[in-house]
Amino acid sequence: MTPRLASLRRTGVILATIMLGWGALQVVFAYQHDFKIAAFIWFIAGIIWGPYFALQATYIQRRTPAEHLGKVIGLQSGILSPLMPLGAAAGGALMRVISPEQIVLLSGWMCVVGAFSIVIPPWLRERDPENTFGEVGR
């Protein structure tokens, strides 16, 4: 599935759609108390989120000039690497104030709002300038 998605030209919109689906399923999950249904929701969420990292790397490679690619990927890694554990720590700290269900709900809504805010810029809705992986998956 990922090679087929990578061959499409609107990778940014696909990434935002993945983010929207992930967030929406977190919102649904926050209200779910049946184990079987909750497990099914996470299974579907995993399928939706699965191609995200490969597509995100493809998007960056397509949009970044070759001479800046190492710097951009290094900067991204330098920013995201500490944010993941900090986000987990913030979620843990929030448990003193709100319930775990509310934390998951908040996280889901933040993902949904983030997805919509990403799609708003017109440059994201444009086709990728160069589809270097156009033959993949055909």
Along the chain (138 residues), what's the average pLDDT of each consecutive run of 10 residues?
60 88 94 92 94 89 90 92 91 92 93 86 58 40
- Give the model's pLDDT for residue 131: 47
CA separation, residue 112 to residues 16, 21, 100, 115, 133 (Å): 9, 8, 18, 5, 28
Q: How do the domains of the chain map onto residue ranges?
A: 2-125
What type of residue is 65? P
Provide the token pair at 66.
């070759």
- Give the model's pLDDT for residue 137: 37
CA separation, residue 102 to residues 10, 24, 28, 82, 131 (Å): 33, 14, 12, 24, 41
Coil vs helix vs strand at 98: coil
What is the rounded distance in angstroms from the CA atom of residue 68 to the CA atom of residue 66? 5
Q: Which residues contact 18 (CB under 8 A, 6 or more apart)?
A: 48, 49, 51, 52, 55
- Give the model's pLDDT for residue 134: 41
